[in-house]
Amino acid sequence: MIVAVTGGAGFIGSHLSEALLAAGSAVHVIDNLSSGYRANVPAGAVLHEADIRSSETRAVIAGIRPEIVYHLAAQADVQRSIADPAEDASVNVEGTLNVLAACREGGARKIVFASTSAVYGNVGKEVVSERDKAEPVSFYGLSKRTAEQYIRIYGQLHGLDYTILRYGNVYGPRQTPKGEGGVVAVFLDRLRQADSPVVHGDGEQTRDFVYVKDIVAANLAALNRGARETLNAGTGRATSVNELLRLLEQCRGVPIARRHAPARAGDIRHSRLDPRRARRILRWSAAYDAIAGIAETYVSTLPSNR
């Protein structure tokens, strides 16, 4: 099977590309390397260095005629979306529209979209399900929500199948200390530099941290399941930033000093995804708990166990 992965030089897209190759697919990565790296693209995948907003992307997809397009390329930084909402919308909305047009021209059967729990905003509930209203509180959440709607309506009008996966906070090897949900990578980066992690606010804010291998598995499950569905891809468990630091302390074997800074604008207080619909429809659930995922990430990031 031929697949295209936009954003395949990034953190999640590169893990997904690896898994698709291992499953025997021909993988074409479309990425402008704005936050991704050439070195992340696995050997065996073809890198097309192009912006998802460009006519080049259209030509590439029309030329390779992929059966599935995994659309992960994005402006994925909440704080940047607040600083420059126009650029965020340009990449995440116009870019998605261009990828949708390319899917049509290239005869793709399906698009699988990397959405986010940020579309929900502050729902004010313990667990957020797909039935809850999506009212984003950042421009990033809004641009992703808008892209979802374009995909849904595109599906209705043009018959393009889709699965929208709303990821929790993804972490794992190769994540850089920037972008969305990067707190694990930020903390590991501080530790690598023998510096103290900075906790914004009181550290009791919680997130649904999901290991990158589980997100890859959800994407693979969406190959043949989840037609025209929008599904949460999370663990269903909440982990606070303070708990995260405790897990890192366990890996490190010594206490970790921390610094405190004010809470950040646009940050959601609590975020935990109800994963039951994905379990039923995709027959997928997260296999890694926070302890296992953090340990694997720690070992691959700080191999010398400093």
- If one asks whether residue 91 binds ligand NAD (CB under 6 A), the answer comes out as yes
- If one asks whether residue 271 binds ligand NAD (CB under 6 A), the answer comes out as no
Report the residue number, 66 or 254, with the smaller CB distance to ligand NAD.
Answer: 66
- If one asks whether residue 141 binds ligand NAD (CB under 6 A), the answer comes out as no
Let me know if 154 is a catalytic residue. no
**Which residues, 209 to 268, sit near ligand NAD by CB under 6 A?**
none
Report the residue number, 62 or 194, with the smaller CB distance to ligand NAD.
Answer: 62
36, 121, 234, 236: residue in contact with ligand NAD (rule CB under 6 A)? 36
Q: Which of 120, 140, 167, 298 is flagged as catalytic?
A: 140
Q: Interacting stretch for ligand NAD, rule CB under 6 A, among 46-54, 102-110, 237-245, 291-299?
A: 46-54
Report the residue number, 32 or 285, with the smaller CB distance to ligand NAD.
Answer: 32
What are 161's strand-pairing partners? 110
Q: Interacting stretch for ligand NAD, rule CB under 6 A, among 4-12, 244-252, 264-272, 281-289?
A: 4-12
- If one asks whether residue 98 binds ligand NAD (CB under 6 A), the answer comes out as no
Cβ 302 to ligand NAD shortest distance, Å: 20
Q: Interacting stretch for ligand NAD, rule CB under 6 A, among 48-56, 149-157, 223-231, 256-264?
A: 48-56
The set of catalytic residues is 140
Residues in touch with ligand NAD (CB under 6 A): 7, 9-13, 31-36, 51-53, 72-76, 91, 95, 114, 116, 167, 169-170, 179-181
